Structure 1
Amino acid sequence: MDQLPGKLIDLNDVGSGDDPKPKLLIKTGPMNVMRLVLSAGKSIAEHKAAKEITVQCVAGAVEFTTMGETLRMTPGTMLFLPPGELHSLMATEDSVVLVTKAN
């Protein structure tokens, strides 16, 4: 991670390759910010985070399942989950998702 305070981060610069890996963009004492690049049809199985998280759709569209319902996330939408809440997601289009996790 080479991000410096006060500098722009291009969330759409996903590089090349068939299956880009999650990229840790910011790591500080209180939080981590990670970018996920998901090709259409790719899913992330049900899991949970130990602390609070926010999830924001930057590009594309994902079906996000949590708390007994599936929500369609599109650019400009964001959600918050409390610690330990089970969730999963599936990209319905090539997508970029930003996850902020409390440490």
Structure 2
Amino acid sequence: MAIPHALPGQAVDVRPLGAGLAQEKTRALFKSADLEVMRLVLMAGKSLPPHSVPGEITVHCLEGSLVVTAEGRSHALGADQLLYLAGGVMHDVTAVEDSSALVTIALRR
């Protein structure tokens, strides 16, 4: 079964998940030829291993607390903070607290 994605012109709720956070999983909200947006869900102490993507990305912490390490620097993100990374930058993400974030990826063709 395909994962449902938002259609052009369709509103998507990206409010913090609050009490429902622990029951959610990371999922793509939409993907087009040039852009992908996903909600990242990480529980405290969990992390994404070092990786990179070809296009620029933003990580907008919606709730909780994350640390993004890129180019030898750690960036602490709390709720309502956003981090921009250039394309191709190796980075990892660790949840300090149960967290969700909106991740935007500019796709390179």
Q: TM-score, structure 2 length as denominator?
A: 0.81
Structure 2: state its 5+ residue gaps: none
Equivalent residue, structure 2, for 1:39 = 43
Task: Return structure 1 stretches of 4+ with deviation > 6 angstroms.
Answer: none
Equivalence for 2:33:
29
CA contact (8 A) 2:21 2:99 kept: no
Show the counterpart of 2:89. 85
Could you say what the CA RMSD is over the residues aligned between the two structures, in angstroms? 1.8
Q: Is the 8 A contact 2:36 2:105 kept in 1?
A: yes
Which amino acid is the alignment partner of residue 49 of structure 2?
Answer: A
> Secondary structure in 1 aligned to 2:79?
coil
Report the counterpart of residue 6 of structure 2 in structure 1.
3
Identity of aligned residues (%): 35
Residue in 2 that maps onto 1:70: 74
Q: Which structure carries more helix by proportion?
A: 2
- The count of corresponding residues between Structure 1 and Structure 2 is 101
Ranges in structure 1 where 5+ consecutive residues have no aligned partner: none
Structure 1, residues 58-79: CA drift from partner, whole Å, max 9, x if none? 0000111012111110011111
What per-residue deviation string (whole Å, max 9, x for no partner) do you get for residues 37-70 of structure 1? 1111101111101111111100000111012111
Which residue of the partner structure matches residue 51 of structure 1?
55
**TM-score under structure 1 length normalisation:** 0.85
In structure 2, what is the equivalent of residue 94 of structure 1? 98
CA distance in 2, matches of 1:87, 1:15: 24
